[in-house]
Amino acid sequence: MVRVAVAGASGYMGAELLRLLSVHPKITLTGVTSDRLAGEPLGKAYPHLRGLSDLRFHDLDAAWLTDVADVVFLALPHMESQKLMPVLRQRGRKAIDLSADYRLRDPNDYVTWYKAPHIDLPGLGEAVYGLPELHRKAIATAALIASPGCYPAGAILATAPLFRAGLARLDGIVIDGKSGVSGAGAQGRKIDPMYLYTEANENVQAYAIAGHRHTAEMEQELSALAGAPLRVSFTPHLLPLNRGLFTTASVPLASAASSARLLDVYREFYAGEPFVRVLDEGERPATRAVTFAWPFAARKWVTTMPPAVSMASMVLRGASLCLPSWIGRRPVCSWSTNRISSTPGRIAPPRKVPSAASMSTVVAVPALTTSEAPLCSARAAISAAQRSGPSTSGRS
């Protein structure tokens, strides 16, 4: 059994992660932290976990985490995980970071997008972007996994096959993302008019126009796939949903391609992938379709016709707002909510699709709202911990 601790377990990501870890057959939950709930029984904060654990929340303490766990999930606010990682790394612990602290490879991007310099450059240099569909081999041996953000997971999975195959142009890329309210994480608990019921209900709002932080992740991963720098025009929207994410990506093609050709490209790219399903021509994705999906079923639906659509589960597949969707070798449990995440969704064609297209639009819809990518990335880290054997340190 692998000993696992969750730092920041009182947030949306932490709560969803605890639910998954509590029923995983190869994991023992040995520690949870929350400065806000320190000393309180886990079952009191989360009644649905009563009887599954007798743990109490502990103050955030990196040294304590290394004593009680082999693998640590960091479900902390942005720019906080990098303060703990040096201690975890020094003591040989593996970590899955659900924040944005280790997603961007260029440290200068943190000054640009997060308005603060990165203070753990060694950790940033060794971190692996935790999208298994792109980096599975690297994740399997990584000591630090950076769980993708929810919007990037949906956008990247929806368009990756086009860039890898050299079918996409590198200009005119438009990403339209729609997220449920829980996608804001702890921000949704603050007194911000945008998240109030009377403002969010029966309403759709665009926000962070031309300046959302997830833009950097999208450009980083898609540029790597394309083999050249590219830029995307990304606009996020807030939907009156608790959980769920829907992404539409419009990508100009380098040359006209038939729907059949594009479908073949997507099917080949995602062949054997447990988290991605390519829909047949004429099928369309919807957030409701992934509401009760298992982690393996939180899929991205892709279509080769313009436009293409992908759906993902917000709480399960995106780091910033999504949890990893896999740990170990089997699904951990079923999901009961719809939320935007970085899990793969589906891509569906428009009602009338021409035989050949010069533009491919992909739409992604996540099923859960808080975070899913971390769990997907966690599988390799936990498997690696199992191979190396249990830690010799004491248990809490």
Which residues carry out catalysis? 150
Distance from C-alpha of 226 to C-alpha of 254, rounded to nearest angstrom: 12
Contact 2, 71 (CB under 8 A): yes
- Gyration radius (Cα) of the chain, Å: 20
The residue to which tokens 């297209």 are assigned: 357
- DSSP conformation class of 39: T
Closest CA to 291 of 332, 335, 248, 340: 335
Amino acid code (one letter) for 120: D
Going along 92-230, which residue ranges are E strands?
94-97, 128-129, 144-146, 173-179, 205-206
For residue 41, CA distances in Å to 1, 5, 74, 99 come to 23, 15, 20, 25
The residue to which tokens 């992404």 are assigned: 247
Distance from C-alpha of 305 to C-alpha of 319, rounded to nearest angstrom: 29
- Lookup: tokens for 20: 């998954």
CA angle 266, 269, 271 (to 5 degrees): 100
Contact 71, 382 (CB under 8 A): yes
Q: What share of the chain is helix, strand, coil (3-state, %, to 5)?
A: 35, 20, 45
CA angle 179, 107, 94 (to 5 degrees): 75
Cα end-to-end distance, the chain, whole Å? 15
Helical H segments across 165-316, by residue range: 197-200, 214-226, 259-269
The residue to which tokens 């240099």 are assigned: 125
